Amino acid sequence: MRLTTRGRYAVTAMLDLALNNECGPISLADISHRQEISLSYLEQLFAKLRQNNLVNSVRGPGGGYCLARSSDAISVAEIIDAVNESIDATSCSGKGNCHNGDICLTHHLWDDLSRQIHRFLSGISLDSLVHQQEVQVVMLRQNDQADANSGCAKV
């Protein structure tokens, strides 16, 4: 089971995109600045997000990334799946060959857990995060701190 900085960075960056969705393409440099994630690392993550049709890109000056769909049609589970291989908790990646080609004693437990986590994260859209009060508060603070504000009227 993998749920590390990588998945968290991806969700954070996508949420940043969602929050600034009205402002046209958002450059990774902006996200890097606001969320304090290394630019090069973001580029690697966005390569995967793009391959999985979660974002569209615009090259050249003024370019950047936009959400490929509306924020209520993108779940947290999809984002994590895109950058992490999976959120599967079994040792056999669900194959069921964890003990000498058969399932191990605890295979079903981890399988159930994986499903549970996936269901939870699938039920949470970027849009629902955007409308959480805590997220709003954090975003306002971040915008205050970042002088390099694009001037786009925030929601």
> Contact positions toward a second copy, by CB under 8 A?
1-5, 8, 11-12, 15-16, 35-36, 76, 89, 91, 99-100, 102-110, 113, 116-117, 120-121, 124, 129, 132, 134-135, 138-139, 141-142, 145
What DSSP string runs through 12-81?
HHHHHHHHTGGGS-B-HHHHHHHHT--HHHHHHHHHHHHHTTSEEEE-STT-EEEESS-GGG-BHHHHHH
The residues, any chain, with a CB within 8 Å of residue 98's CB and separated by 6 or more, are 90, 91, 92, 104, 107
Question: Residue 98 is inside which H or E element, if any?
Answer: none
Helices (H), 67-106: 76-83
**What does the alpha-carbon distance between residue 25 and residue 93 come to, in Å, rounded to a whole number?**
36
We find the least distance from the C-beta atom of residue 100 to DNA, in angstroms, to be 14
44 binds, among DNA, a second copy, none (CB under 5 to 8 A by kind): DNA
- Is residue 87 within 8 A of residue 2, CB to CB? The reply is yes
103 binds, among DNA, a second copy, none (CB under 5 to 8 A by kind): a second copy
41 binds, among DNA, a second copy, none (CB under 5 to 8 A by kind): DNA
**Between 113 and 128, whose beta carbon lies closer to DNA?**
113
**Between 140 and 146, whose beta carbon lies closer to DNA?**
146
**Between 48 and 154, whose beta carbon lies closer to DNA?**
48
**Considering only residues 57, 128, 136, 143, which one is a binding residue for DNA as defined by CB under 7 A?**
57
Q: Is 60 helix (H, G, I), strand (E, B) or coil?
A: coil
We find the least distance from the C-beta atom of residue 37 to a second copy, in angstroms, to be 10
Residues that bind DNA (CB under 7 A): 2, 4-6, 9, 25-29, 37-38, 40-41, 43-44, 46-47, 50, 57-65, 84
